[in-house]
Amino acid sequence: MKHLDDKVAAVTGAGSGIGRALALHLADQGCRLALSDVSADGLAETERLLAGRARAVTTAVVDVADEAAVGAWADAVVDDHGRANLVVNNAGVALSGTVAALSTDDYRWIMGINFWGVVHGTKAFLPHLEASGEGHVVNISSVFGLTAQPLMSGYNASKYAVRGFTESLRQDLELTRSCVSATCVHPGGIKTNIARSARVDRSVAGVTGRPAEAATKDFEKSFITTPARAAEVIVEGVRKNRRRVLIGPDARVLDAIARLAPTGYQRLVTGAVRSRSGR
């Protein structure tokens, strides 16, 4: 899909962050937009920013963890716009805590949104993308889908799952000679509110020796790439039909470290956390 002009693009998590930046950038490429988010207020603000900028915009409040809701939204997108050419499964949340402290409900919560939300979006839109004659699936993983981090087991699990699912999807599409392709995106630290809206268990303070709020602020200092830049890189990845897209210098560095020291990097990361906590 080298040209996006007049294509219909569906984006989840469009009420803020990368999703909002993608909506704005895709509008500038001439796309018709179908946007969803769990936040009605966030969607309304994105729609306001798109006024006079997009050819057409529809919005829907959708919880991506709800398979039926995602399926109904996908059908509504085609009813409203006549087709669907691109879906970006971007909606995501964060969770932090030790494995011992987190509950199985915590894991179900994050997997329901970060992983199952991607599966729901892919499955719901894939037949419509096929019917369009030219389609693309973009699934947002993370640099934490390339390297594991302490205190982030739920987030890591969900983002590794997105990576495996999307890489297998791409191969399926090639084997069946589909007109649809797929790209897995691994952002590094992006200046969004995901850290501030994360669920943080008290075990984080116990391990790091710092209150959760202070740890979050420290973590946010590593967010060096803007959502607007992330959107540009993602769209370029679609145009070039890339299998994997890394966003930000931190993502490229961590990817290289994981390749060079696939197990050794874990000691480096743990050591860095200990050093910051003074332990």
The mean pLDDT value of the chain amounts to 93
% of the chain exceeding 70 in pLDDT: 93
Q: What is the pLDDT confidence band of residue 184, given thresholds at 50, 70 and 90?
A: very high
Least confident of 40-49, 168-177, 264-273: 264-273
Average pLDDT of 102-122?
A: 98
Crossing angle of helices 67-81 and 116-132, rounded to 10°: 30
Give the residue numbers annotated as catalytic, written as ranges. 155
Cα dist. 151→100, 163, 234, 274 in Å?
A: 10, 20, 28, 12
**Topology of domain 8-277, CATH:** Rossmann fold (3.40.50)
- Prediction pTM value: 0.93
> 209-249: per-residue pLDDT in tens?
766 665 555 555 667 799 999 999 999 999 999 999 999 99
CA 142, CA 60: separation in Å to the nearest integer? 25
Q: What is the pLDDT confidence band of residue 30, given thresholds at 50, 70 and 90?
A: very high
Decide if pLDDT at 278 tops 70: no
Decide if pLDDT at 165 tops 70: yes
Average pLDDT of 252-270?
A: 93
CA 125, CA 75: separation in Å to the nearest integer? 8
Phi, psi angle pair for 185, to nearest 5° = -110, 135
